[in-house]
Structure 1
Amino acid sequence: MTRSTPPGSGRGRRDLRVRVKTAKGRKLSSTRWLERQLNDPYVARARAEGYRSRAAYKIAEIDDRFRFLVPGARVVDLGCAPGGWTQVAVARTNALGAAPGKPRGRVIGIDLQPVEPVAGAELMQLDFLDEDADVAVRDLLAGRADVVMSDMAAAASGHPATDHLRIMALCEAAAEFAMAVLEPGGTFLAKVLAGGAEASLVAQLNRAFAKVVHVKPPASRKDSSEKYLVATGFRTASEAQAIR
């Protein structure tokens, strides 16, 4: 691993970018990924501030704009591993009761795999696609959620069109789950990939929510095709029916 100074950089100036040397048995793609991680300021910041992933800053930046992770909010984090989004939700909803005098929220993290405990969160090893998953969540909350959020992505195939379709199918399933557990006025947030297969999902969300927007937070890498759908103001069944 080296740090290089580019030609013509000038006296007293250095390029502090970390360069990773190719190693025997390591693919070029792996070397590039490692180099990107080592030079990513969000990765360094997450490590310094105790977040489990740089993705914590994505949800923080989105919430800075839309303000749905408020003290007292009941939040469901789908596909929560490794727990970065859950950590942010716990802090902002006051799930640990760290802010006396403010309502105390609840955060439920759901994932197929075991997740290391997150202080202030309730973790469920559960497939949200299971028939009664929404019932289990409502039972745990003794009611409905104010926010359902998802940073899930289907396993990459290496084929962009296929990956887009897979993540959209996952997002559509997450939206169906959200509409089964949200309180009227609630918020749904999910990651999508840029492409042409999301029109039907956006149309569905526009019927079910007062406002639907796309957002790409600063923490999302510029070379990534990911963006987020933020749907706010979940309608009651009668309101949704009235606009059909």
Structure 2
Amino acid sequence: MSNNKKGSGDRGLHVRVKTAAGRRESSTRWLERQLNDPYVRRAKVDGYRSRAAYKLIEMDDKQRLLKPGYRVVDLGAAPGGWCQVAVSRVKSTPEAPKVVGIDYLEMDHIPGVVLLKKDFLDDDAPEALLEALGGLPPDVVLSDMAAPTTGHRQTDHLRTTHLFEVAVDFARQNLVPGGSFLAKVFRGGTENALLSDMKRDFKSVAHIKPPASRKESPELYVIAKGFRGRSEG
């Protein structure tokens, strides 16, 4: 897998897609956007499973969350782009995997990653994740989880915010002291309260929107560093 600079394999050609019989106009627009997205084309060249890999690459290049030897949990991992980035940056190996990904969707094997086909919302999911790490706590918890969209912005925001809250709770319960958390959230109003709560648990908390995140997308990422440790009682 190469780590080419932005634009590798991208000749800047614009592909136009005609609306075919039986296909909705919205589907045609989505297909045209995908075909003309430089990150989509670049992912194919670089061997990443999704354009989302570049979101993590861009954020980690600035924030340095993933370091050799770190243990990583990736929540909502399918199709595996973030796992691919993590396994390379923490130097995880098939013999001693340090990256665990979980998703209810099927994923193809990634060397150096333990993949769990399981819903993260299942009660026994946290235990399964820690067991996959050999019973040791993660240094980094990642989450690119988002609920399937309904088209109603406020509903989509609330559903994805719930996933964010569950991911934060897992991080609070399991991160090593000093650990980091990175997760998706949608704009919509309630994330400010979530950030205030997180500032009690982490030394620094901030929003970030990487260049690979489409400008029209309501998604943001919350990055929290310097976990203060689990508070008892």
* Percent of aligned positions that are identical: 56
The residue aligned with 1:17 is: 14
Say yes or no: does 1:114 pair with 2:111: no
The residue aligned with 1:232 is: 225
Say yes or no: does 1:64 pair with 2:64: no
Q: What CA distance in whole angstroms lies between the structure 1 residues aligned with 2:230 and 2:46?
A: 42
Q: What CA distance in whole angstroms lies between the structure 2 residues aligned with 1:161 and 1:48?
A: 36
CA positional deviation for 1:50: 0.6
1:137-216 equivalent positions in 2, closer than 5 A: 137-141=129-133, 142-216=135-209
Q: Which runs of 4+ in 1 moved over 4 A?
A: none
Q: What CA distance in whole angstroms lies between the structure 2 residues aligned with 1:40 and 1:139?
A: 38
**1:75–1:145 contact (8 Å) kept in structure 2:** yes
- Structure 2 residues not aligned, in runs of 5+: 1-11
Q: 2:34 aligns with which of 34, 37, 40?
A: 37
CA positional deviation for 1:137: 2.0
Aligned partner of 1:94: which letter? K
TM-score, structure 2 as length reference: 0.90
CA positional deviation for 1:18: 1.1
Q: What CA distance in whole angstroms lies between the structure 2 residues aligned with 1:130 and 1:153?
A: 16
Task: Identify the structure with the greater strand proportion.
Answer: 1
Task: Give SS of 1:207's match.
Answer: coil
TM-score, structure 1 as length reference: 0.86
CA positional deviation for 1:237: 3.3
CA positional deviation for 1:131: 2.4
Task: Give SS of 1:26's match.
Answer: coil
RMSD: 1.7
Task: Give SS of 2:199's match.
Answer: helix
Could you say which structure has the larger radius of gyration?
Answer: 1
**2:205–2:222 contact (8 Å) kept in structure 1:** yes
**2:173–2:230 contact (8 Å) kept in structure 1:** no
